[in-house]
Amino acid sequence: MKRIAVQELSPEQLVLPLALCQFIASYAGTNMNVAISNIAKDLGTTVIGVQTAITLFTLTMAALMIPGSKVTDLWGRKFCFVLGLVVYGTGAALAAAAPTLGVLIFGYSILEGVGSALMIPPIYIIITVAFTDLPSRARYFGVISAAAGVGAAVGPLLGGLITSAISWRASFVVQVLVVAAIVFMAYRVTVPPRSTKTTGFDILGTVLSAMGLVLVVMGVLLSRTYGWFISRADFKVGNTVVISKGGLSPVWLFVAAGALVLFFFFLHIRNWEREGKKPLLSTRLFRSRSSNLGLVTQNIQWLIMQGTFFVISVFLQEARGLNAIETGLLLTPATVGILLSSMLAGRLAKRYSQKTLIWSGFALTIIGMILLLLLARKDSSILSFVPGLLFMGVGVGSMLTSSVNVVQSSFPEKDQGEISGLSRSISNLGSSLGTAIAGSVLVSTLVTGNHVFALALATLAVIAGIGLVAAILLPSSQESVAP
């Protein structure tokens, strides 16, 4: 195995703090799902208010992950990794003591989101440049992806245990303790340095990219109140009615505005390149078919995983009346499936192509979602959930690592900072859209009663089908962009 020397540290010593960091960030995105009712009651807010906090957490990461990867190139990989941990830990401590929803949003959604945007890109950069052969890289990306998938999958279980035994606030205290341990381990690690140095920072590009992503997701969030097509209420800015009830939903106003801002962002980075400047992202990152399709699969993987966990968690609590710990325990088959398939990533990469692993992962996930729709009911046995959740877990776990490998391996070392940020931004955008879309369907008036949960899951299954098509269209052999 070819590996860059890192002061004679073993691969495990290098990867352990990176994997723990990814685990805790993913855990933070799902552990609150099982405690939504407890948090809402404790803070005197609503379920929608807590859902908004969850969505804003992943949205903050999505909006800032690209500039976060850029400052990684400017300030250094280890410095940004540790700085992100400190900001994240500060946010978790503040959230643990939050007296109101506003303080919770500032600590959890904003500070933890900013901290994640600083500490996550270095993880994928370090793995890519430290392990240069595909089997080794796949093995350790498998560890990181397993940490991400298991963090998201075990979030409901651990969150439920902690909430039931102590309080939802204790879950944030646990995050502070884990982050402190990671900081201690990180100081013992010397990471591979960049072969070239980056100077300058594209402030305008940062503002445009973040604003575009925020507008798109905020538009989807508005669908819960105003509907997708016909506005269910007057949309006001201050005291002025911008769109009257019965008009076109404001969802599309925000989505169109976000798309327009992202278009201007692309024009901006193209113009900067023509002028010989260094933009936030290089346009060459969008010239690889493998990478582009890989990014689509990454986005949809996290969208369906976060969206499905959210739908099932709310269903189990609202329709079946389960408490936090019971909800978390029922999601265990998905956790087991993700863990097993992710840990086998290195071995599977030796036998099958990345494309095969991705499309088969989507196929297994869709089968799992169909089984849930067919078998799981309000009054059905607990065992009726197991086959669907297990298939979903195995499917998601088998394709998470492969999608990351496809994207990161499409570019040389000098582009790893940018592509890592873009990759993580797209993944977190998927997480934001997953909870936002699922939440909007759950308040839909198209169906009544518990049928809204089936409609939400069916919607996510259709989106998973789009991911399957993208996976099938991936080139059979790995494509890379020339330096």
Report pTM: 0.76
On whether both 52 and 124 belong to a single domain, the answer is yes
Q: Is residue 330 part of a domain?
A: yes
Instruction: For residues 243-262, give the mean pLDDT.
Output: 87
On whether both 215 and 333 belong to a single domain, the answer is no
On whether both 234 and 170 belong to a single domain, the answer is no
The pLDDT-based confidence of 133 (bands split at 50, 70, 90) is low
Q: Into how many domains does the chain fold?
A: 2
- Reported as a single tens digit per residue, the pLDDT across 273-321 is 888 888 878 888 888 888 899 999 999 998 998 888 888 877 887 777 7
The pLDDT-based confidence of 8 (bands split at 50, 70, 90) is very low
Q: Is residue 308 part of a domain?
A: yes
On whether both 378 and 305 belong to a single domain, the answer is yes
Q: Is residue 6 part of a domain?
A: no
The pLDDT-based confidence of 63 (bands split at 50, 70, 90) is confident
Domain boundary pick from 254, 279, 304: 279
Please tell me the predicted confidence (pLDDT) of residue 295: 92
On whether both 250 and 373 belong to a single domain, the answer is no
- Find the domain containing 258 and state its range: 203-279
Domain boundary pick from 244, 279, 314: 279
- List phi, psi (to 5°) of 241: -80, 115
On whether both 232 and 296 belong to a single domain, the answer is no
On whether both 315 and 384 belong to a single domain, the answer is yes
Q: Is residue 1 part of a domain?
A: no
On whether both 161 and 290 belong to a single domain, the answer is yes
Do residues 303 and 430 touch, judged by C-beta distance below 8 A? yes
We report the CATH number of the domain holding residue 368 as 1.20.1250.20
The pLDDT-based confidence of 324 (bands split at 50, 70, 90) is low
Please tell me the predicted confidence (pLDDT) of residue 200: 65
- List phi, psi (to 5°) of 230: -105, 125
On whether both 183 and 211 belong to a single domain, the answer is no
The pLDDT-based confidence of 12 (bands split at 50, 70, 90) is low
On whether both 366 and 301 belong to a single domain, the answer is yes
- Reported as a single tens digit per residue, the pLDDT across 31-58 is 777 677 788 888 888 877 887 888 788 7
Q: Is residue 480 part of a domain?
A: no
When the pLDDT of each residue in the chain is averaged and rounded to a whole number, the result is: 81
Q: Is residue 80 part of a domain?
A: yes
Q: Provide, rounded to the nearest whole percent, the portion of the chain with pLDDT above 70.
A: 88
Domain boundary pick from 233, 250, 279: 279
- Reported as a single tens digit per residue, the pLDDT across 67-123 is 887 787 777 778 888 899 999 999 999 999 999 998 999 999 899 989 988 888 888
Q: Which residue has the higher pLDDT, 195 or 156?
A: 156
Please tell me the predicted confidence (pLDDT) of residue 414: 72
On whether both 236 and 337 belong to a single domain, the answer is no
- Reported as a single tens digit per residue, the pLDDT across 19-35 is 888 888 888 877 777 67
Q: Is residue 42 part of a domain?
A: yes
Q: Is residue 381 part of a domain?
A: yes
Please tell me the predicted confidence (pLDDT) of residue 195: 55
On whether both 307 and 185 belong to a single domain, the answer is yes
